[in-house]
Amino acid sequence: MNKPIRVLTPTCTLGYGFADDAFERAMSMQPDVIAVDAGSTDPGPHYLGSGEALVSEISIRRELTQMILAGRKAGIPVIVGSAGGAGTRTHVDEVVRIVREIVAEHALSVRLAWIYADIPTSVVADSIDCGEVRDFEAGWELSADEARSSDAIVAQMGHEPIVDALEHGADVIIAGRACDDSVIAAFPIWKGADPGLAIHMGKILECGAFSAEPHGTDVMMGTIDAEGFTLEPGSLRRRASLTSVAAHTLYERENPFLQAGPGHELDLSACDFTQISEREVRVTGSRFIGSDDYWVKLEGARRRGYRTVTVAGVRCPTMIARIDTLLADAKSAALAYFDAPDLDVQFHVYGRDGVMRGLETVRKPASHELGLVIDAVAHEQSLAHAAAHFISGTLLHVSYPGQYNTAGNLAFPHSPSEIDAGPVYEFSAYHLLKAASPTALFPIQHEVLTP
């Protein structure tokens, strides 16, 4: 590495927003690359299974336009990882389409690269038969039949496919599902940075200004050199502190000292955090440990059925006092009425245990009103709709001891009260797959765009 490398990460997820003045200030610091993560499994399996984008096209287009125009003006690459949210081929193709339209609209010349992360279900099934798939955090061993039943499976790429695209001169890189920190680390590693420092910096930067005070969806800058890296928010209204940076090092981690990733492990036991100015924190001591075999994380989803939800409020004190019994009776009546083995009915009672449900520790809430969500899932949308309506109608008109009113037990904020939510997906794979090489599973496409 001939000189320190500056990485600008505009936000925690592409499309979540960032302050224009913070972005402009960060660009004035002459970054070498703009790199941003765009996805996560946090929103659940729907986006992976359906191919729908996590963030609206309006937001993606707005922020991509800012990034690409700034990148072309400065002559630096723009890198997006986990495009569209789940990073499937569908997501990548949609974001690539948006990039093409931005480039055409602004008459730019761009060398575009995009990287797919989809793994055919047959490849996963064959790998299972060869003993090259193992459990990660799913809690079960993946079977070949389970793999084949998945609607989509992606693998989290490391930095290597992105480095490959940079080697071939890409100005804009749209990557499918990628390990979050690898998206940020790829350019510095390509330029010779220590991979332990680069990946650790990527781990902190990938959430944007959530590693700053006050935290938020905003711009962060990372500067890496031979000995360590320094973090600074783009906005002068924020600061990096020892607490905020160290805390984000521990974010989403079980082990405070070891962090596994594609083909490696980070040893953070010797890390040192230093407040070098009011707004900057320097980090040293991160160590990269390469693994003998290269394993990537699989994320798979399959369709479970179709969902209908009903949202209602309960204000009657006598009904609140008997809510458990009334809900259980209404569910039993629905299951008997429709006689459908796959019908699943769940209740979320907000004001009591709607968030924690069975894990709630406060067992006697004093709420004078409850929010009720009726959640019905079945193999057909019509059956889910019918079940949700049956239950809401039963509860609306139910009679019980101590009741003062004869009907109208529920208050509905919407008409119609039943809302069809469409297909429901569940995770079908959350396992590790052995790869022949860091780039073998991730084909790269190139295109030169000119006015």
Could you read off the pLDDT of 162-194 as tens digits, one per residue?
Answer: 999 999 999 999 999 999 999 999 999 999 999
The number of folded domains in the chain is 2
Identify whether residues 12 and 161 lie together within a single domain.
yes
Residues 211 and 350 in one domain: no
Greater pLDDT, 37 or 364: 37
Q: Is residue 33 part of a domain?
A: yes
Q: How confident is the model at residue 405 (pLDDT cuts 50, 70, 90)?
A: confident
Tell which residue, 343, 431, 377, has the closest CA to residue 150. Answer: 431
Q: Would you say residue 417 lies in a domain?
A: no
The verdict on 362 and 279 lying in the same domain is: no
Q: Is residue 204 part of a domain?
A: yes
pLDDT of residue 121: 97
Residue 365 scores a pLDDT above 80: no
- Same structural domain for residues 182 and 215? yes
Nearest to 176 by CA among 41, 100, 51, 85: 85
Amino acid at 61: R
Among 3-17, 321-335, 357-371, name the one with the lowest average pLDDT: 357-371
Residue 69 in any domain: the answer is yes
Same domain for 117 and 233, yes or no, is yes
Cα dihedral sign, 117-122-125-127: negative
- Residue 424 belongs to a domain: no
Give kind and range of the element (H or E) at residue 425: strand 418-429
Confidence of residue 332 (pLDDT cuts 50, 70, 90): very high
Q: Which residues contact 114 (CB under 8 A, 6 or more apart)?
A: 83, 92, 93, 95, 96, 173, 174, 175, 176, 444, 445
- Residue 422 bridge partners (DSSP): 307
pLDDT, tens digit (0-9, with 9 covering 90-100), for 94-131:
999 999 999 999 999 999 999 999 999 999 999 999 99
Within-domain flag for 93: yes
| Whether 346 and 405 share a structural domain | yes
| 280 and 214 together in one domain | yes
Q: Give me the mean pLDDT over the 419-435 stretch.
A: 97
For residue 391, the model assigns a pLDDT of 98
pLDDT value for 138? 87
What is the three-class DSSP state of 93?
helix
Q: Are residues 396 and 254 in the same domain?
A: no
At 334 the pLDDT is 98
- pLDDT tens sequence across 204-252: 999 999 999 999 999 999 999 999 999 999 999 999 999 999 998 888 8
**87 by DSSP, 3-state: which?**
coil
Do residue 126 and residue 166 come from a single domain?
A: yes
One domain, residues 19 and 91? yes
Domain region containing 433: 5-299+429-449
Does residue 48 fall inside a structural domain? yes
For residue 421, being part of any structural domain is answered with no
**pLDDT on residue 83:** 98
Residue-wise pLDDT for 139-164, tens only, equals 999 999 999 999 999 999 999 999 99
User: Could you report the per-residue pLDDT of 45-79, keeping only the tens digit for each?
Assistant: 999 999 999 999 999 999 999 999 999 999 999 99
Do 200 and 151 belong to one domain?
Answer: yes
Q: Are residues 155 and 42 in the same domain?
A: yes
What pLDDT does 364 receive? 80
pTM: 0.95
Q: What percent of the chain has pLDDT over 90?
A: 92
Tokens of 198: 């680069």
Give the pLDDT of residue 408: 85
CA gap 445, 441 in Å, rounded:
13
pLDDT digits (tens, 9 = 90+) for 245-279: 999 888 888 899 999 999 999 999 999 999 999 99
pLDDT at 381: 98
